[in-house]
């Protein structure tokens, strides 16, 4: 009896457990896991992630970020920076620096330097140098050349007149007259002696 019951239990119950319960577990639970949970994970969660979160991220966040970038940053760049560059810097450059360059430097160049060049240097050149050249140098050259010409004419005339007159008149006349007279006298004396 013990052997028969034990064999029955071992054979029938174990076979039942192995066949029916294991088959149930393998078929139903595995099918449940494979079908329901996998389908749930694949369909619902993946669809949720792909559809809802991705759509949300792509649609809402992209729209939000793009709207934020487009609205805030672009508005900031276009409005504030561009307005700052166009209004402040351009106005600063055009108004202050250009006005400074045009007004101060140009006025400085036109008024001070041009006036300095025109008034001081030109007046200096015209007054001092021209007066110096005209008065001093011209007078000096005129006086010097005039004196030189005077000295040259005086000395030349004096030397030419004196030397020529002296040499021609005195020396030539004296020597010629004396020598001619002396030779003529000697000749007469010589002729008288030999006669």
pLDDT reported for residue 53 = 78
Tokens linked to 60: 């809402």
Calculate the CA 22 to chain-centre distance: 92
pLDDT reported for residue 177 = 82
Mean of the pLDDT values across residues 140-156? 83
Closest by Cα among 128, 127, 151, 147 to 139: 147
The full set of domain ranges for the chain reads 71-159
Output the DSSP codes for 80-104: IIHHIIIIIIHHIIIIIIHHIIIII
- The pTM of this model reads 0.25
pLDDT reported for residue 183 = 82
pLDDT reported for residue 50 = 81
Tokens linked to 141: 């050259």
Average pLDDT, rounded, for the chain: 80
């Amino acid at each position: 009896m013990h052997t028969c019951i034990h064999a029955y239990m071992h054979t029938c119950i174990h076979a039942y457990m192995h066949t029916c319960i294991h088959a149930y577990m393998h078929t139903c639970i595995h099918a449940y896991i494979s079908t329901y949970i996998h389908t749930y994970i694949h369909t619902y969660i993946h669809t949720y992630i792909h559809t809802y979160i991705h759509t949300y991220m792509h649609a809402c966040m992209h729209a939000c970020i793009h709207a934020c970038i487009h609205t805030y940053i672009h508005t900031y760049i276009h409005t504030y920076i561009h307005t700052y560059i166009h209004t402040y810097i351009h106005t600063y450059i055009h108004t202050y620096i250009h006005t400074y360059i045009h007004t101060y430097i140009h006025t400085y160049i036109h008024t001070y330097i041009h006036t300095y060049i025109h008034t001081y240097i030109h007046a200096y050149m015209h007054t001092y140098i021209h007066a110096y050249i005209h008065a001093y140098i011209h007078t000096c050259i005129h006086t010097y050349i005039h004196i030189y010409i005077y000295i040259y004419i005086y000395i030349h005339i004096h030397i030419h007149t004196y030397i020529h007159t002296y040499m021609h008149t005195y020396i030539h006349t004296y020597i010629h007259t004396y020598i001619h007279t002396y030779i003529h006298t000697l000749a007469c004396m010589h002729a008288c002696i030999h006669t």
